[in-house]
Amino acid sequence: MKRILSLLLCAAMLLSLFPMVSAASDEPLATILCGSDFQNNCYGGGSYNRYAFDATPIEEQERTQSLDAILASVRGAGIVPDATLFVGDYTDHFQEDGDGQYCAGDGIRQIESMFNAHFGDDYTATHSSTFSQGNHDYSGAYGLAQSGLQPYDESDPYIVYVINESQFPYGQSSDSSMLALVSATASTVSTELGALAQAGETRPVFIACHVPLHYSARSSGTDNTYAQVLFDSINTAAADLNIFYLYGHNHSGNPSYAAGTGRNDGRYEDAWGGAVNYVARGEYLDVNRFGHGSSANRQKLNFTYMNAGYVGYSNSSANNTLTVSLLSVYDNRVVLSRYDASGEYTRAESLGQSNPNSGGAQVNYPITVALRSKSAYAITVAANNTVYGKVSFDGYSATATPYENYAIEGWDLSPPGAATVTQAGNDFYFSDVTADCTFTVNFAEAHCVSAAFSDVDPALWYHDSIDYAISHKLFNGVSDTAFAPDQTMTRAMLATVLYRLKGSPVVYVTSVFSDVDKNAWYGAAICWAAVTQIVSGVGDGRFAPNDILTREQLATILYRYARKYSYATSAQGNLSGFSDSHAVSAYAQSAMQWAVGAGLLVGSDGMLDPQGGASRAQVATILMRFAQYVGAY
């Protein structure tokens, strides 16, 4: 941690020379290189052979060549990590095979020599390196960290917590003393992590543990009680902390194992784990062996769960991903990256795998995890124009999504300086929040879709709504060069627009109205609207498709659409404030009250003009409001 501390002190001195601004540097506070399982494949022929690589010097073994190539790619990318963190297994041999030349210390020394070779001759002397114990490693081996919180300073940007395999064994035993050992470990974890939470700790806490929490015991008919006990203690503490659980142990996936038939459960261990696994905070983890896939075993994660990387052998040619992880720590987020021998690993097969039972989306690396803030102040997010884009907020960060043809053009914070805002692409991260504030993303038009129409003035009131209608294919121009914004809308036009809004469903009805040709451009739309009772005729079995659409007809048809598809229609506007409210037809009273209350109709010069025709520009504006009201786009 010494180098990290000196870097932070230098940064603090530099920052003190400048006033506080609401945009932070995008340089990480620290980068940590992580890995696991520095092993050769001693399972040739399907059985374990401890002697397979004994005659080969360690620097010439496959595991060394593999890690050497990966570290070379990291250094080739210009990265010298501030610290390293490996989570176990530095020998091929099991503990019961004996010590001596097979000691994990030999593997750790080899890894350290490779750090020095790639990152500087004195790297391990000047940088923090943490090695947690794996199931192949002796407790007393050279370089292994003690279980528990690792020494840290208040100025350090992160904290490391080690759980060694001797405190959390992967193999489950019927011996009650072993369960007592795991329970004691869980109790210690609860106490120490709980103390951090009580102190209001906001820094990321990296738990280094070789044994995964989803890993079933290798004993048929035994549930995974050990993992369940430890999971409960970590998950409870994680409700108030930023915890990242980094595990190893899973040799990159072997899909040939059928579920429950091989050495491991193929769906949930080998095939699910490996070097590329990641489960997001808020997703679900299936901890127990019994009843895999049942909702009872799916438990919501309060922490980030990920493989530290895999640098040794793979037991699957279909998934031989050998990687290290790089954790970039910022004051408000952690970015998780992967590196293999060819550089940053972002190919399709490096997808971060969500729990198979959760149905969650798979995401590719790099992955950004927002750190939870302990601020007591509220942040409200908004878009400067909801026609241009939307802004989502999860309590820790905001994501801005411009709609097609629009782009992000800056942001505002009110009051200024109430928080530090860091932008990374479309994502925004908040820290140092000192007051309730409103964060607004400014969207601007990147491409004007109505520019092709010579009769659309971009400076007039209807411009945004016409762009919206065209962008969302609600309706088009009357020709390739004309939109006819002042032309009156017809009844057929509106039926067609709503038909498109609903996704143009298949219509099997051949005829509804005598004056509607099923083969006309509006035929299917009117048939659909009539069958769904969104429109009705004008009498005598006619629809009058080419008649002018009045404003009260427009309100009535939209009201029926909203009710048909269970959108809220409880808004009640007061029509008495309009001088011509008496002109609203009886059939349209409820619809007009709703349209005014929902903000779809606002009137002009104190009049609703219910019997007047609605122009295409006016309908575009009302439809834009309606589409947003029902959440169509």
Name the pTM for this structure: 0.77
pLDDT in tens, 47-75: 777 778 888 899 999 999 999 999 999 99
CA-nearest of 276, 251, 277 to 264 is 251
Query: Is the Cα torsion angle 281, 282, 286, 288 positive or negative in sign?
Result: positive
Question: How confident is residue 364, by pLDDT bands cut at 50, 70 and 90?
Answer: confident
209-218, 247-256, 570-579 — which one is most confidently predicted on average? Answer: 570-579
> Higher pLDDT residue, 6 or 170?
170
* Residue whose entry in the numeric block shows the structure tokens 């035993």: 173
**DSSP state letters, 205-216:** EEEEESS-SSPP
Candidate from 21-35, 369-383, 455-469, 571-585 with smallest mean pLDDT: 21-35
pLDDT of residue 605: 85
Query: Does pLDDT of 44 surpass 60?
Result: yes
Above pLDDT 70, what percent of the chain?
82
**DSSP state letters, 82-112:** SEEEE-S--SSS-GGG-SGGG-HHHHHHHHH
pLDDT of residue 145: 96
Query: Does pLDDT of 100 surpass 60?
Result: no
pLDDT of residue 28: 93
Query: Does pLDDT of 143 surpass 90?
Result: yes
Pairing mode, strands 30-35 and 323-329: antiparallel
Q: Which two tokens stand for residue 311?
A: 């640098």
Enter the DSSP assignment of 141.
Answer: -
Tell me how far apart the alpha carbons of residues 524 and 123 are, in angstroms, rounded to a whole number.
72
Q: Is 214 exposed, middle or buried (0-12, 13-18, 19+ CB in 10 A)?
A: buried
For the chain, give the mean pLDDT: 83
| CB 332 within 8 Å of CB 430 | yes
Taking each helix axis as running N to C, give the angle between helix 616-629 and helix 491-501, from 0 to 180 degrees, rounded to the nearest 10. Answer: 30
pLDDT of residue 262: 40
> Higher pLDDT residue, 139 or 492?
492
Question: How confident is residue 319, by pLDDT bands cut at 50, 70 and 90?
Answer: low
pLDDT of residue 292: 52
Secondary structure class of 310 (helix, strand, coil): strand
Q: Which CATH architecture has domain 29-370?
A: 4-Layer Sandwich (3.60)
pLDDT of residue 10: 40
Tell me how far apart the alpha carbons of residues 316 and 197 are, in angstroms, rounded to a whole number.
41
Question: How confident is residue 132, by pLDDT bands cut at 50, 70 and 90?
Answer: very high
* Mean pLDDT of all residues in 309-336: 83
* Residue whose entry in the numeric block shows the structure tokens 């609605």: 614
DSSP H helix total and E strand total for the chain: 12, 23
| CB 176 within 8 Å of CB 26 | no
Tell me how far apart the alpha carbons of residues 266 and 228 are, in angstroms, rounded to a whole number.
20
pLDDT in tens, 478-496: 898 999 999 999 999 999 9
Q: Which two tokens stand for residue 217?
A: 């015991």
Query: Does pLDDT of 360 surpass 70?
Result: no
Q: Is 265 exposed, middle or buried (0-12, 13-18, 19+ CB in 10 A)?
A: buried
* Mean pLDDT of all residues in 446-458: 91
Q: Where is 407: in which H helix or E strand?
A: strand 406-414
Query: Does pLDDT of 113 surpass 60?
Result: yes
pLDDT of residue 18: 30
Query: Which residues make up the CATH 3.60.21.10 domain(s) of the chain?
Result: 29-370
Beta bridge partners of 607: 604
Q: Which two tokens stand for residue 89?
A: 């297994």
CA-nearest of 271, 281, 380, 365 to 324 is 365
